[in-house]
């Protein structure tokens, strides 16, 4: 493979990835006529995990269940529910697991604080390690050069 071919192929993959990345699975017949409500529906769908293909949001998933949920979200928005109520409707049935961004609450403290705790522990370890290493250097070496004459 020549250099040119490699560049060509990589470029092709890049264009494909960018092109496909933004596409949701929302079918034309699902869309609401009201662009504001439709935009809200898209934003809500992007926050909710599809329980069939779990690493996709229901906005991205082609699973029939994701489609049903997208339709329900739109129905509820048309009926006048706010965003929290719509998300609450899905969470009541499928649990916090469907929230792609985990909520900040008692049972998720470890998740949210865990990285900071580990960071702090690492920092403390480094601190004590270097204090020990520096402390192990004989007294004479880190004392004031002027003292040596005495």
In the complex with another protein, the residue whose CB is nearer, 14 or 130, is 130
Site for another protein in 22-81 (CB under 8 A): 51-52, 54, 64-65, 68-69, 72
In the complex with another protein, the residue whose CB is nearer, 37 or 72, is 72
Asked if 92 touches another protein (CB under 8 A), the answer is yes
Asked if 108 touches another protein (CB under 8 A), the answer is no
Dist CA 39 CA 105 (whole Å): 28
Q: Which residues touch 20 (CB under 8 Å, ≥6 apart)?
A: none
Burial of 56 (0-12, 13-18, 19+ CB in 10 A): middle
Asked if 94 touches another protein (CB under 8 A), the answer is yes
How open is the CA angle 138-144-150, to the nearest 5 degrees? Answer: 95
| Interface contacts to another protein, rule CB under 8 A | 51-52, 54, 64-65, 68-69, 72, 92-95, 97, 128-129
């Amino acid at each position: 493979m020549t250099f040119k071919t490699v560049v060509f192929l990589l470029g092709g993959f890049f264009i494909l990835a960018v092109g496909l990345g933004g596409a949701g699975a929302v079918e034309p017949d699902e869309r609401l006529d009201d662009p504001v409500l439709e935009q809200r529906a898209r934003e809500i769908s992007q926050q909710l995990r599809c329980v069939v293909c779990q690493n996709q949001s229901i906005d991205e998933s082609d699973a029939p269940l994701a489609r049903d949920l997208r339709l329900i979200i739109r129905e509820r928005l048309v009926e006048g529910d706010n965003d929290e109520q719509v998300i609450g409707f899905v969470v009541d049935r499928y649990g916090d697991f469907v929230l792609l961004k985990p909520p900040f609450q008692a049972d998720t403290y470890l998740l949210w604080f865990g990285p900071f705790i580990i960071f702090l522990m690492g920092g403390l370890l480094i601190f004590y390690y270097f204090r020990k290493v520096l402390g192990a250097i004989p007294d004479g070496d880190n004392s004031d050069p002027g003292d040596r004459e005495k």
